[in-house]
């Protein structure tokens, strides 16, 4: 069972470069989301989606773009990387988001360093 | 808005000791409450949940009771094991945004 798959596991970027973090789930979940995890700050929501074609901003969306063209995939794009975006990024999905109390299923994370 | 206050860590316990990790929250509406656990190098995974007042969630010997009057959801385990060493996150949920505490790191020593 694949669950939520994130690629790459590690990435180093130079300031100003762009890249896309990939996230795919095979559970037919409606809801997908991206978090960043920083020491002492827990997890903070970047963007989320409640279905294909629908996205919305979370707590810390600046510097990131998302799209949801299929149910399975939810890529996160960094348009012009900055050192402040050095973090561990997690993709998570759930059956229905806030409806029906369904929990989140997480990928194993992408560790991004911006120099 | 929603927020979570979680017990500061790190916490170090000897094997078979009793564990409590405190969690209090503020939320609009009537949240569902979750505890997640993160083992080293992995993503978070659901530990237990409770969806209404006085419900008790339980899993792997861990328990937490939904206390609406005190807006708390404290995590407890009667006898911890070395394999319980991990980071624990409290997470209330209302609507489409899940909120996480800062996490409490637990180390259990033999």
Across the interface, do B36 and A104 touch by the CB < 8 Å criterion?
yes
Distance CA A25, CA B57 (A): 27
Q: Cα distance from B38 to chain A (closest Cα, Å)?
A: 10
For residue B68, what are its two tokens?
A: 């609406």
Q: Which of B47, B49, B31 is nearest to B39 (CA)?
A: B47
Residue of B44, B51, B89 with shortest CB distance to A101? B51
Instruction: Tell me the per-residue pLDDT of A21-76, one tens digit each, with 9 for 90 and over.
Output: 999 999 999 999 999 999 888 899 999 999 999 999 999 999 999 999 999 999 99
Instruction: Tell me the per-residue pLDDT of A43-54, one tens digit each, with 9 for 90 and over.
Output: 999 999 999 999
In this structure, are residues A25 and A4 in contact, taking their beta carbons and an 8 Å threshold? yes
Residue of A42, A44, A105 with shortest CB distance to B103? A42
pLDDT at res. A98? 65
Instruction: Tell me the per-residue pLDDT of B45-88, one tens digit each, with 9 for 90 and over.
Output: 999 999 999 999 999 999 999 999 999 999 999 999 999 999 99
Q: Cα distance from A41 to chain B (closest Cα, Å)?
A: 5
Give the DSSP per-residue string, A74-108: --EEESS--GGG-EEEEEEEESSTTGGGPPPEE--
A and B: number of Cβ contacts within 8 A: 59
């Amino acid at each position: 069972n694949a669950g939520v798959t994130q690629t790459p596991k590690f990435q180093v970027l130079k300031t100003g470069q762009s890249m896309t973090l990939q996230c795919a789930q095979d559970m037919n979940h409606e809801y997908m989301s991206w978090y960043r995890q920083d020491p002492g700050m827990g997890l903070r929501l970047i963007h989320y989606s409640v279905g294909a074609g629908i996205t919305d901003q979370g707590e810390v969306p600046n510097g990131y773009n998302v799209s949801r063209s299929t149910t399975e995939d939810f890529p996160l794009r960094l348009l012009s990387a900055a050192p402040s975006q050095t973090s561990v990024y997690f993709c998570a999905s759930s059956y229905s988001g806030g409806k029906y109390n369904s929990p989140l299923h997480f990928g194993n994370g992408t560790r991004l360093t911006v120099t | 808005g929603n927020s979570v206050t979680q017990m500061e860590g790190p916490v170090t316990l000897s094997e078979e000791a009793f564990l409590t990790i405190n969690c209090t929250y503020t939320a609009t509406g009537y949240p569902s409450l979750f505890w997640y656990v993160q083992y080293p190098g992995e993503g978070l995974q659901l530990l237990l949940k409770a969806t209404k007042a006085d419900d008790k969630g339980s899993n792997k010997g861990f328990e937490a009771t939904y206390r609406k009057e005190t807006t708390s959801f404290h995590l407890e385990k009667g006898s911890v094991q070395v394999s319980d060493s991990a980071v624990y996150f409290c997470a209330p949920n209302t609507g489409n945004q899940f909120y996480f505490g800062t996490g409490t790191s637990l180390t259990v020593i033999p």
